[in-house]
Structures are given as C-alpha cells and as structure tokens.
Amino acid sequence: MGGGIRVIGKYELGRTIGEGSFAKVKLGRDVHNGNHVAIKILDRKHVLQNNMMEQLIREISTMKLINHPNVIKIFEVMASKTKIFIVLELVNGGELFDKIATDGRLKEDEARNYFHQLINAVDYCHSRGVYHRDLKPENLLLDSNSVLKVSDFGLSAYSQKEDELLRTACGTPNYVAPEVLNDRGYVGSTSDIWSCGVILFVLMAGYLPFDEPTHMALYRKIGRAQFSCPSWFPPQAKKLLKRILDPNPLTRIKVPELLEDEWFKKGYKQASFTEQEDLSADDVAVAFNEPNVENLVKERKEKPVHMNAFELISSSPSFNLDSLFEKQKDQVKRETRFTSQCPASEIMFKIEETAKPMGFNIYILQMKLQGDKSGRKGHLSVATEVFEVAPSLHMVELRKTGGDTLEFQQACENSLSWLLQSNFN
C-alpha cells in the first residue's frame, strides 16, 4: 500500500516485477547513476531452514564472477537482519514465453538462433560448476535487441530445496528430466540439457512435447520419452531432439556432441565477450553468513508518501507514460492495472467482495487471492497492491504470483478486472 520510497543501500525500490513462494523481485534504481536494476529479495530465515547456505554462497559467488552475454548479470549482494538482496541486471524485452504465447511457434532459423544462445549460456555455466535445474521459457528473458538472457542461474537450487519439486515456485514439471522426477539422484548438466531440448521443441512446435491432464500420465510419458514431432520439423531437427530427449541420462547427448550436430551447426556463432578481471564475490559470503552489524544495510523510507514519479513511470514496460494504463494487445500478461478515485480501504474491501464469489480465498497480507481449485499449473494466486498516485487517485495492480499465466489473463479479462473496474467507476 502507498507509503514512502523504500531505499536499500544505494537503491530505491519500485514496484514488484516478479514473485514466488521464496523470493520477490522488485524494480530498483541506483540513486548514484540513475541506472535501473532488478532486486531479488530472499528471506534469510528460509535460506537457513533449507540448509542451502553453503551451496548458495558457492553458486552465487561463481555467478557474480560470470560476465556472459546470455546470462543475467549479478551486480552485488547485500543483507539486512532479515533479508538478502541480490542486485541483478534488468532486462526489458519480456520473456521468451510471451513471444511463443503471442506469435505461436517460431520459424526454424529463429528457434535455432535462440537455442544457440541458450546452449552457449548453459555450457558456459556448466564449465564453472553451476547448474540451473529449472530451465523453461519463463526463465528465458529477451533484451531490447532480442538477445536471450537466462535468469535464475545459481538460485534454482534454493527454490527446489524447500519442498518437493511440484510444489516449488519453479512450477511445471513439463520441462523436467525423468531422472529428476524419479528422485534417484541426477547430474545437473544432463538434466539441464533435457530441459533445453523441451524448450527447443516448444519454440519450433508452439506446444509442449509432454503435456497430460494428470501428473501420473505426464510422468509416464516423460519417463519413456513418449513424444512425436510435428510434420513441419525437418528430419535433422527430429533426429537431434531424439538424442536430447533420451530418457537415459548416460546416453543422452552431451554439449560437445551437440556442437558437432549438423542441424545445430547451421548459423552457429560462439558467444563473443571478454572476462572481467576486477570482479569480486566477497560480498556474497558476507551477505549469506551471519553478518557483522557494520555490514548490514538498513531499509529506510523516504518521502513523499504518494507514488513517486520513478514508480509511476516504471509501471510501464517501456517506461512510456502513454501506455501506462493501456493493456498490451495480443500479449499474455502476468499483471493488470487500473486507476480509481476511491479511498484505499474501500478499494481493498471491493476487491475482497468481488473475488470471493469467483472462488478465491483471501489473505490480507498485501492482499493475496488464491483460487480454491487447482488449474493447469496448480492454484491460481493473485497479489494486489494499491498505490496512491495523488491524494484523490489510486492505481490498483493485480499480479499473478502462482498458477498458469493464461488462466490469470482469462480471469482478469473475463471477470475479475472488469468487475473491479465497474465497481470503482
């Protein structure tokens, strides 16, 4: 709800741009140079409870030293008494998921180009002992030049430890290798390659190779690698996918063999970049271990109490005020927003009143709504925030925090957003 500008260290915190069970990602602005960043916020208690401290320190320290063009850059890591803040490169081009959902399947050359970039990123991180474990289109971002950036490398181990795979913020098992689902121990590099193969299939087909209404049926198909390629796949691509989506991790294709594959090699370019020598990971251990008081950052709030211009402008994906309250056409949205002149307390009351008949359970924290029926990817969850733009004008933001994106979009378009707006106007 409204309030002053939150400041952590040298960063102003803006709106929430991502949210899961274990972490929240907020837009940030470096007050020294005005650059925008993404700030992932972890709960220190959760990290400790998961006994993942050592692995997280090791993997995030490694990621901080990585300067690869296809991997989201970690700038710095800070800690307060209760939170850990990971400052990341901000990528504004949206998710690869949105491109598939909007355009359907990609042309062969375009799909192959993204696959090249994905393999470059995965291979580089594997060579440094870091494995993703949760590769899927939602974790693949695009910058303004359509350069692919893999997000959450080095953080996914934490996400998967809290609870069994299917109940994590990592979500859908459709991209997960059979040996991971069987929980018989697995090698991170080979399971990541399987996920890359599923992503390639989705890019070229526009749908999943393994998709069943029940988990048991889905597990059976994944375990046996039961899938069929559509007719428009060229024979060389079909042959490669059979080698990637091999249910036996021991015989599954490895990256060196992949780089020699005829279909893969067409138009392939190695990533071009230079290693930075002045990088340090000292702040990672300081943040994750029990820090000294002098190493803690303090969270403070600064006036004004209304939504500041930074937050207002940053609410638009393109930082363009003209499209602030416009819904993007033909794009799968994970959030929706509108304005109201009602008081904040009345807005929250009306949201609760509107959502309950639709089958949402209400949790007054921020405010959170959770569907009582499980959808395609679990229960649909929606977080709501109300910002005071001016004394008599509020902006209401509805943001998906769990479940299927298309189900969220349908809920907003068909009833939730429309009902709320009609209530307020």
Q: Which helix (H) or strand (E) holds 180?
A: helix 178-181
CB-based burial label for 416 (10 Å; 0-12, 13-18, 19+): buried
- The DSSP call for residue 95 is B
- The DSSP call for residue 305 is S
Angle formed by the axes of helices 235-244 and 188-205, nearest 10°: 150
Q: What does the block give as tokens for 13?
A: 């915190």
Known catalytic membership, residue 134: yes
Catalytic-labelled residue, pool 98, 123, 134, 192: 134
Give the CA count within 13 Å in the CB-facing half-sphere of 340. Answer: 25
SS3 call for 77: strand
Identify any residues that bridge with 251 across adjacent strands, giving them in sequence order. Answer: none
Q: Do 5 and 12 form a contact (C-beta atoms < 8 A)?
A: yes
Q: What does the block give as tokens for 214?
A: 């029940």
Q: What is the DSSP string of 38-75?
A: EEEEEEHHHHHHTT-HHHHHHHHHHHHT---TTBPPEE
Is there a binding annotation on residue 350? Answer: no
Give the CA count within 13 Å in the CB-facing half-sphere of 220. Answer: 6
- As a whole number of angstroms, the distance between CA 61 and CA 80 comes to 18
Q: Which residues are catalytic?
A: 134
- Residue list for the binding site for ATP: 40
- Residue list for the binding site: 40
